[in-house]
């Protein structure tokens, strides 16, 4: 019997927290560049009563995304898309960050925008990092929001990026703008799409950073932010659940900063000292 389908790309702890909240009774497609990550998530979710399948997908490849769409629709109507895949400035090169985080997300929204079911909803995990970039011109905003995906990486101001932090910030800003552009198209199918921009969320990698050589810098930042601590994947999951539920139907094309006030403090509070380093 055809089921409703939730698609999760990027099966780390943020993605899993969201899938657990929206995936009960549905078929959950677990997609990841590293199939072993998808399989680990499948084991945890299957043992908690969810139905899953796994597939290896590189977000930075249109062919892989098309394979993912084909895999997902074979189970039934695609009700949810969760994009929690991505590479961070300390993990990847400028080219890889732009190809995966910026270009890949644009293609993913374009392709799932063709199949998302009536009443469906999606979330893209962006980052507080995109909120640390100064204002772009209206022309640059429009180019990031609405250029054909295949032209994004050839935009002159994108080609000029040479450091990984800038590549990450532009990618995350682009995610937010792309979500606005796609909301207009997804709306025609009766579906919503939003982005969530988290601050530091404790995951195995973030935990390593907190206790690694640069840990004191991170711990100081968390001490000084208004919430005084890092966030948890479940708090991001709770926000995503609301946006993807029937109560979130009037919310689309929006970005939600969930960072314990870190961005507010970065611009106007105790964390302004970080501007010298970002």
Active site residues: 168, 172
Residues 107-146, one symbol each (x = binds ligand NAD by CB under 6 A, - = not), give ------------------x-x-------------------
Taking the C-alpha atoms of residue 98 and residue 92, their distance in angstroms, rounded to an integer, is 10
Q: Which is nearer to ligand NAD, 10 or 248 (CB)?
A: 10
Q: Which is nearer to ligand NAD, 69 or 125 (CB)?
A: 125
Q: Which is nearer to ligand NAD, 53 or 88 (CB)?
A: 88
The encoded tokens of residue 101 equal: 């985080």
Taking the C-alpha atoms of residue 277 and residue 274, their distance in angstroms, rounded to an integer, is 5
Q: Which is nearer to ligand NAD, 81 or 200 (CB)?
A: 200
For residue 100, state whether it binds ligand NAD (rule: CB under 6 A).
yes
Residues 78-97, one symbol each (x = binds ligand NAD by CB under 6 A, - = not), give ------xxxxx---------
Q: How far is the CB of 139 from ligand NAD (least distance, A)?
A: 26
For residue 258, state whether it binds ligand NAD (rule: CB under 6 A).
no
Which contiguous run of DSSP H or E holds residue 176? helix 164-188
The footprint of ligand NAD on residues 10-39 (CB under 6 A) is 10-14, 32-34, 37
Q: Which is nearer to ligand NAD, 15 or 113 (CB)?
A: 15
* DSSP 8-state code for residue 160: T
Q: How far is the CB of 151 from ligand NAD (least distance, A)?
A: 20
For residue 58, state whether it binds ligand NAD (rule: CB under 6 A).
yes
With the CA atoms of 129, 134, 139 and 144 taken in that order, what torsion angle do they form, in degrees rounded to the nearest 10? -10
Q: Find the part of the chain contacting ligand NAD (CB under 6 A) among 68-76, 109-117, 179-187, 200-208.
A: 200-208
The encoded tokens of residue 74 equal: 């074979």
When binding is defined by CB under 6 A, the residue of 205, 210, 258, 274 that contacts ligand NAD is 205
- Cβ(57)–Cβ(96) below 8 Å: no
According to DSSP, the residues that pair with 121 across neighbouring strands are 80, 192
For residue 55, state whether it binds ligand NAD (rule: CB under 6 A).
no
Among residues 159, 178, 271, 166, which one has the least CA distance to residue 222? 271
Q: How far is the CB of 89 from ligand NAD (least distance, A)?
A: 9
* DSSP 8-state code for residue 201: B
Taking the C-alpha atoms of residue 195 and residue 34, their distance in angstroms, rounded to an integer, is 24
Residues 225-244, one symbol each (x = binds ligand NAD by CB under 6 A, - = not), give --------------------
Taking the C-alpha atoms of residue 166 and residue 278, their distance in angstroms, rounded to an integer, is 9
Q: Is 261 exposed, middle or buried (0-12, 13-18, 19+ CB in 10 A)?
A: middle
Taking the C-alpha atoms of residue 107 and residue 86, their distance in angstroms, rounded to an integer, is 14
- Cβ(196)–Cβ(262) below 8 Å: no
Q: How far is the CB of 261 from ligand NAD (least distance, A)?
A: 15
**Residues of this chain that bind ligand NAD (CB under 6 A):** 9-14, 32-34, 37, 57-60, 84-88, 100, 125, 127, 198, 200-201, 203, 205-206
């Amino acid at each position: 019997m055809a089921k409703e389908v939730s698609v999760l790309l990027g099966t780390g702890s943020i993605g899993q927290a969201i899938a657990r909240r929206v995936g009960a009774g549905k078929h959950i497609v677990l997609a990841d560049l590293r199939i072993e990550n998808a399989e680990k998530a499948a084991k945890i979710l299957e043992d908690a009563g969810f139905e899953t399948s796994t597939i290896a997908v590189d977000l930075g490849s249109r062919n892989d995304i098309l394979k993912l769409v084909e895999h997902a629709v074979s189970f039934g109507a695609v009700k949810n898309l969760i994009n929690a895949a991505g590479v961070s400035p300390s993990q990847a090169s400028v080219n890889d960050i732009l190809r995966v985080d910026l270009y890949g997300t644009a293609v993913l929204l374009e392709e799932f925008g063709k199949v998302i079911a009536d009443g469906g909803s999606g979330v893209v995990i962006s980052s507080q990092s995109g909120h640390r970039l100064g204002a772009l011109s209206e022309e640059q905003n429009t180019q990031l929001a609405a250029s054909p995906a295949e032209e994004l990486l050839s935009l002159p101001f994108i080609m000029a990026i040479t450091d990984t932090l800038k590549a990450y910030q532009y990618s995350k800003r682009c995610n937010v703008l792309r979500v606005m552009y796609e909301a207009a198209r997804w709306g025609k199918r009766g579906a919503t799409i939003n982005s969530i921009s988290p601050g530091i969320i404790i995951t195995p990698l973030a935990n390593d950073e907190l206790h690694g050589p640069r840990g004191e810098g991170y711990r100081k930042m968390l001490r000084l932010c208004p919430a005084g601590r890092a966030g948890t994947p479940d708090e991001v999951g709770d926000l995503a659940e609301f946006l993807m539920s029937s109560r979130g139907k009037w919310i689309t094309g929006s970005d939600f900063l969930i960072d314990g006030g870190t961005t507010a403090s970065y611009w106007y509070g105790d964390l302004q000292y970080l501007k010298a380093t970002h």
